[in-house]
Structure 1
């Protein structure tokens, strides 16, 4: 009888202890941000990190065998992007036909496979003097209805109105197969971008309707870490294939470029008159071909610098780490790209507003 009462007392004390823990305030050690102690099953953000990214959670205690974790009280920038990345992966084909292949040598580039970069987009511009449509900027599909590009690609020029149409699903501009052309209904440049500037050069295009998800049309993931943990990135685009002249490619090209350290890049642009702040490492990342004649060029602007997503849960998927912004000629000084991770919260608030509270 005494043993039975002891067991009941222990169970009751455990229940009281558990109830006291759940709902308590906690602080995330890594970010020093506030959180609440919740059961792991009740905290989707931490659960996704455990299941898909194999990150150990910060625990407050346990209820039986179930962890009580420190769940973020406010949304962590990047959490929506990571969740959406996992969602879009369901459209991936088998590994052996997803097209991933590192290339050693756009200027000096190779042709991309037909479904290798299913997030690649082209922005079409209407001529002011004719009915001609010109594909002048690149972009990356990042949701069912949004394309990420540079801010300077969104504005009207003396020859062309802003982007009117987005082309998806093809590697050859003239290929009718798998082709999706969708009208642009909204253009949003970053609020801190000033026309003609090279800073905060990032923008979003909203499509008239959601894309049809296929093996040839699927969003990329966004890279959320401020530090890029690899040495190479892959640039893709339909831009010029010559360092002199403007011979654009009808085929999507890919090229592997070195990620250039901040000091080297800054030294390359120290006399540039349009860089009053120099190269700003927080918001820009530089790439180049080293001693090889490889680079991005005219017509690639707005397109992505991407790396392979490392998680097995996101097979055949790329992370967009940068947007091709500007350079000096096509081969020479490093190209300067907008660093996507700095703008994650701004992107999420616009693209997924229902999840941004």
Structure 2
């Protein structure tokens, strides 16, 4: 084992770091699912989110050398072998094949030597997904090697129940507004859940949504007051909440996967997310049970 691998494999005490001080050291910082929705904390960590997104992944396409890969979609670490993302990220025209997942990507562009980069050996698209459609827009990527957890690389939990909070966080490199340059650090932006009627109006029947908005498998969030939304390049990234509960198993719980947006960063618009709770049985049929 090389020096870097040996360092990254060491257990670190949670209470050494502000972000981990409320987590239980005895079960490790990363090995700790939310049980009650009233424990979810949505907005108090926004500033810290600019430097702490340990479950985020960038997905690289095309070249076998990561130095020349195109990083076009996002995803989330959900176990030491699997990345959760959007199915439509498998079908980006002229992007080439998915080759890599980059983890610990707090800043970008940066020297790739500071990232953990894993080869992708298997792509699992939901069996009901149809390319160009926005239904069942969910997929899993399996890494060739076991993911090494550390302060910058920690999996998130999955939402297992139907409750969707009124506020959540969208995370990504481009989640800063329409026609703005991608950020050089990951951004977390607060967004609110739109009403069912507003979602039906925003995502009416069209070529990609043959039956319109489906609240059982989709959710729509955005912001009516600010230009907070997800943008191109954030596809596949998480809609999430944070918890600071003492016995929390994860720092973040993923509510949805970024699927589709009308116009990123425009006032009053909503983004469309694949609702995770509807797909936990399918996910765990592949990954095994996720604590």
Q: If the length of structure 1 is used for normalisation, what is the TM-score?
A: 0.65
Shift of 1:260: 1.6
Q: Which residue pairs with 1:179 in the alignment?
A: 115
Give 1:244 shift: 2.9
The answer to whether the 8 A contact 2:175-2:187 is kept is no
Deviation at 1:320, TM superposition (A): 0.2
- The CA RMSD over aligned residues, in Å, is 2.7
CA distance, structure 2, for counterparts of residue 322 and residue 193 of structure 1? 16
1:163–1:346 CA distance, 2 compared to 1 (3 A)? same
Match of 2:285 in 1: 349
Alignment of 1:155-166 (within 5 A): 155=91, 157-166=92-101
Structure 1 residues 288 and 101 mapped into 2: Cα distance closer, same or farther (>3 Å)? closer
Offset, 1:263: 1.8
Question: Secondary structure of 2:96's match?
Answer: strand
Higher RCO (CA 8 Å, separation ≥ 6 residues): 2
Partner Cα distance (1:342, 1:178) in 2: 35
- Encode CA deviations 1:56-96: one digit per residue, 9 max, x unaligned: xxxxxxxxxxxxxxxxxxxxxxxxxxxxxxxxxx9783396
Equivalent of 1:263 in 184, 187, 197: 197
Deviation at 1:267, TM superposition (A): 1.5
What is the count of residue pairs matched by the alignment? 255
Cα distance in 2, alignment partners of residues 252 and 199 from structure 1: 27
How do 1:309-320 residues align onto structure 2 when only pairs under 5 Å count? Answer: 309=243, 311-314=245-248, 317-320=251-254
1:310 Cα offset (Å): 6.4
CA distance 1:148–1:92, shift in 2 (3 Å): farther
Return closer, same or farther for 1:226/1:145 CA change in 2, 3 Å cut-off.
Answer: same
* CA–CA distance in structure 2, aligned partners of residues 266 and 137 of structure 1: 26
Structure 2: which 5+ runs fail to align? Answer: 1-10, 21-40
| Pair member with larger Rg | 1
Matches of 1:231 and 1:158, distance apart in 2: 35
**What is the CA distance between 1:277 and its match in structure 2?**
1.0
CA distance in 2, matches of 1:159, 1:272: 24
2:218 pairs with 1:284: yes
User: What is the TM-score with the length of structure 2 in the denominator?
Assistant: 0.79
Measure the CA separation in 2 of the matches of 1:133 and 1:198.
26
Q: Residues 92, 175 of structure 1: CA spacing in aligned structure 2 closer, same or farther, 3 A cutoff?
A: farther
